[in-house]
């Protein structure tokens, strides 16, 4: 195992552990902060796999913007329900068993596939090459995505605004 491989396994272990801690927290602020740790690990894994631009975007958008949005929502609404508990065991244990069976089968398929165990080389797509590739081959998708973001902006604004308009509902 090379040094970079060891680093990858450490990063993967930290990412999985942080995610597992995050999804079991009762306190939503703790969950969001643990998930930020997980996304930083994911960003470093992206960098290992030769995507420095995507690593930067992962930190900026996922760990920065999206998680801060979650924090704002958690802070904006008053949550006074410590009684939020997991579903009763007899409801989620069958789902967990089926999911584990699928996961084990997926592992076996991954290991039995020929060529999947060839080690990945070190190759870095520089941000310049990546940006040129995207804008030369996928410029139309970029425009569609920008339209989608505009629609999301208008939709979120409308959803937030219709609260203050009188006559839409008795409770505000």
Partner 1 sequence: MIVPLSHALILSAILFGLGVFCAVSRRNLIMMVLGIEIMLNSASIAFVAAALRWQNLEGQTFVLFILAVAATEVSVGLAIIVYAFRRTGSFDPGNYNLLK
- Binders of partner 1 among residues 37 to 56 (CB under 8 A) are 38-39, 42, 45-46, 48-51, 53-54
Q: Does 12 bind partner 1 (CB under 8 A)?
A: yes
Q: Does 29 bind partner 1 (CB under 8 A)?
A: no
The distance of Cα 172 from the centroid of its chain, to the nearest Å, equals: 32
Binding track, positions 108-127, relative to partner 1; x by CB under 8 A = --xx-x--xxxxxxxx-x--
Q: Does 163 bind partner 1 (CB under 8 A)?
A: yes
Taking CB under 8 A as the criterion, which residues in 63-92 touch partner 1? Answer: 65-66, 69-70, 73-74, 76-77, 79, 81, 84-87, 92
Burial of 18 (0-12, 13-18, 19+ CB in 10 A): buried
Q: Does 16 bind partner 1 (CB under 8 A)?
A: yes
165 Rama class: left (phi>0) / alpha (psi -120 to 50) / beta: beta
Burial of 135 (0-12, 13-18, 19+ CB in 10 A): exposed
């Amino acid at each position: 195992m090379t040094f970079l491989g060891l680093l990858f396994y450490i990063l993967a272990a930290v990412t999985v552990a942080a995610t597992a801690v995050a999804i079991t927290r009762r306190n939503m602020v703790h969950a969001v902060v643990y998930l930020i740790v997980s996304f930083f690990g994911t960003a470093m894994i992206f960098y290992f796999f030769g995507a420095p631009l995507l690593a930067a975007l992962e930190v900026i958008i996922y760990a920065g913007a999206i998680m801060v949005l979650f924090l704002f929502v958690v802070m904006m609404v008053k949550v006074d329900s410590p009684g939020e508990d997991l579903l009763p065991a007899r409801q989620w244990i069958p789902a967990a068993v089926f999911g584990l069976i699928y996961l084990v089968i997926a592992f076996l398929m991954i290991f039995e596939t020929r060529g999947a165990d060839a080690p990945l080389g070190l190759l870095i797509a520089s941000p310049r090459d990546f940006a040129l590739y995207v804008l030369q081959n996928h410029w139309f998708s970029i425009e569609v995505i920008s339209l989608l973001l505009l629609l999301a902006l208008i939709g979120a604004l409308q959803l937030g605004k219709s609260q203050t308009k009188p006559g839409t509902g008795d409770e505000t």
